[in-house]
Structure 1
Amino acid sequence: MLDLFGQSDEARIGEIAAGYAASRTQTSTDSERRFRDLLQALPAAIYTTDAEGCITFFNRACIDFAGRLPKIGEMWCVTWKLYLPDGTALPHDECPMAIALKQNRPVRDVEAVAERPDGSRICFMPYPTPLRDERGRLVGAVNMLVDITARKQAEQRMMLLTSEVDHRSNNLLAVAQAMLRLTKADTAEEFQTVFAGRLSALANVQRLFSASRWTGANLKTIVEEELRPYASRDGERIKIAGDDVRLPPTLAQSIAVALHELATNAAKYGALSRPSGRLEISWETKGAEALVLHWSESGGPRVNEAPTRKGFGIGAVDGIIRTLRGTITRQWRPEGLVCELSFPEGVA
């Protein structure tokens, strides 16, 4: 008894060919009928032809596969239209089944695309195998059409993902190199501390990208994550307001590092350096999806005038924003720094 379930496609078509030959050697028509009943039960599209290529049998799975009802006597294949994987039309008299019959040999390791009458297409692998009588003469062929559409789609997704990972890794390295160039310090220890902080901000946003499958990151989440170390238990020290805005990866990375620098400076010299200090952050989108982010400090050391020396952190923020064609304005008010960051294309 044939066992056609749980086998590889190659082993299954071999069993089918052997079973077909065995059914023809027996005098009872019951044997051939039972064999065809078995083929009807299989989920794979299977059909047979005579030695000239005329279809002599097809199972129910062929109807679902082809999207139509084939006819006994049609030539070569049950499908409506055929194409090569590159989209080139494939005439039926040049299809794998035709080759198997004309050259009297099995055809393996080829792929094709079948188009149904409704326009939908299926990627598949055919397994055309000649059938011979007890004397070895060609009497026909059997073909099994294995739908590999899901596999091909998975391969395409994998290729896109690989390309995306390559793009993201190159972009991440470029951002890290830019941060390295922008990081200045008077001592090696200070350089290490500053650069490690910026890398940490970059790592935080990378985790957000991973959670969203690299579609971007939510601005509110970026702000909350970066300012979490400075927040008070009652939530009064830092106020965050803004719509749910998703940022594309490049902009999200840059804003994360810029917020890190602003928070670091505020913790050293501004509102976050005192328990009484307060920070308000808000954002909005304007025409053509431009993003404007507002940073306002109060309650920290009194500011008498703008700093005469441009610190390393300020230079880093300015450099990061310029790379995205953005702008930044600062107002050194007595109660604290008020800063506005504007980006021409802000929403993913």
Structure 2
Amino acid sequence: MSARKAAEAALQASEQRFRGLADNIDQLAWIADHQWEITWYNQRWHDFTGTTLDEVRGWGWQAVHHPDHVDRVVTSVRRSHASGEPWEDTFPLRRHDGEYRWFLSRAQPVRDANGDVTSWFGTNTDVTDQLAREAQVRLLMREVNHRSKNMLAVVHAVARQTLAISPEDFVARFDQRILALAAAHDLLVDSDWRGVDLGALIRSQLAHFGDMIGARIVLSGPPVRLTSAAGQMIGMAMHELATNAGKYGALRDTQGRVGIGWQASADGLAIEWIERDGPPVEAPARAGFGSRVIG
């Protein structure tokens, strides 16, 4: 075999290895000449776009670009072609079924011994799912920031009101109210902040009376889904009512009973807290934190 034929055979074998590799990578891949006219695509490109080489040869690749982005992409390609610098852009490409998916696209210039660009080798990597995840993370971060500010505002208000009304036992009362907020917060987190069941919320605020629920404490009402904001406020109200019932009302002794009922209608939500058979209750000398929450 002559040296020329041997070189041609080696080149052919090398091209076959390259095409085999290029057809099995996850990316869409292509080669363009020095004028950026594409001369070859890997099989994944054809499978994704449903096009033939004749349909998208040269600058025919624009046919599978989204009309809202194609002019921008052409401009960035021409800029890179003129400068000889590597190219990178992100844009949607149309799949064979008509759906557009986003791709991170890159191309590297191939240079000869003199440094002149002889061709370009490019890839398109599907980043649709990655971009969706990043958008979801940004949304979640904004939501966390919003909810954190709201929660801090609630904590701040609870602290100020507790200190103003009962400075003598501030630490104990503030701690109890924060735990009540935390219980409501746990329910909201468990539901991905899609709301909270009213019955579950009330039970969480009566957890320290757990052995009485169903006996001396009776809950009745249909399934009601509260918004996160309503859940926090109603949770605090239930906590204050339960605390007062334990300190001054029906749950202070062994005979009293509490009935908690609710009903939803077109006019809104009505909740009743009724205490029976407890010790006599005296009107407080001043309005406490619970009165402000409930009122």
TM-score norm. by structure 1 comes to 0.73
Equivalent AA in structure 1 for residue 294 of structure 2: D
The correspondence of residues 193-272 of structure 1 with structure 2, limited to 5 A, is 193-232=172-211, 235-272=214-251
Post-superposition Cα deviations, 1:164-183, rounded to whole Å, max 9, x if no partner, equal 11111110111122223332
Inter-CA distance 48–187: structure 2 relative to 1 (3 Å threshold): closer
1:265 and 1:313 in contact (8 A); partners too: no
1:40 and 1:61 in contact (8 A); partners too: yes
2:165 and 2:289 in contact (8 A); partners too: no
Cα distance in 2 for partners of 1:146, 1:166 equals 32
Equivalent AA in structure 1 for residue 276 of structure 2: S
Equivalent AA in structure 1 for residue 37 of structure 2: C
Question: 2:3: which partner in 1?
Answer: none
Gaps of 5+ in 2: 1-5
Question: 1:142: which partner in 2?
Answer: 121
Q: Deviating runs (4+, > 6 A) in structure 1?
A: none
Equivalent AA in structure 2 for residue 193 of structure 1: A
Cα distance in 1 for partners of 2:62, 2:17 equals 22
Question: 2:23: which partner in 1?
Answer: 40
Root mean square deviation, CA, Å: 2.8
How many equivalent residue pairs? 286
Post-superposition Cα deviations, 1:143-182, rounded to whole Å, max 9, x if no partner, equal 1011122221111111111111111111011112222333
- 1:78 Cα offset (Å): 6.7
- Alignment of 1:27 onto 2:17: no
Post-superposition Cα deviations, 1:127-152, rounded to whole Å, max 9, x if no partner, equal 11122345544332111011122221
- 1:33 Cα offset (Å): 2.4
Cα distance in 1 for partners of 2:260, 2:21 equals 70
- Alignment of 1:75 onto 2:52: no
Question: 2:294: which partner in 1?
Answer: 318
Q: Pick the aligned partner of 1:56 from 27, 31, 39.
A: 39
- Alignment of 1:93 onto 2:68: no
- Alignment of 1:301 onto 2:279: yes
- 1:102 Cα offset (Å): 3.4
1:79 and 1:114 in contact (8 A); partners too: no
Equivalent AA in structure 1 for residue 65 of structure 2: K
Structure 1 counterpart SS, 2:71: coil
Inter-CA distance 301–90: structure 2 relative to 1 (3 Å threshold): same
- 1:104 Cα offset (Å): 2.4
Inter-CA distance 79–240: structure 2 relative to 1 (3 Å threshold): farther
Cα distance in 2 for partners of 1:124, 1:260 equals 53
Equivalent AA in structure 1 for residue 53 of structure 2: K
- 1:64 Cα offset (Å): 4.5
Structure 2 counterpart SS, 1:284: strand
Identify which range, 73-82 or 135-144, moves more after superposition: 73-82
- 1:185 Cα offset (Å): 6.7
Question: 1:291: which partner in 2?
Answer: 269
Inter-CA distance 156–129: structure 2 relative to 1 (3 Å threshold): same
Equivalent AA in structure 2 for residue 71 of structure 1: L
Inter-CA distance 47–27: structure 2 relative to 1 (3 Å threshold): same
- 1:286 Cα offset (Å): 0.9
Inter-CA distance 195–51: structure 2 relative to 1 (3 Å threshold): same
Q: Pick the aligned partner of 1:106 from 49, 72, 86.
A: 86
Answer 1 or 2: which has greater helix percent. 2
Equivalent AA in structure 2 for residue 267 of structure 1: G
Inter-CA distance 175–119: structure 2 relative to 1 (3 Å threshold): farther
Percent of aligned pairs sharing the same letter: 30
- 1:119 Cα offset (Å): 5.0
Gaps of 5+ in 1: 1-24, 320-348
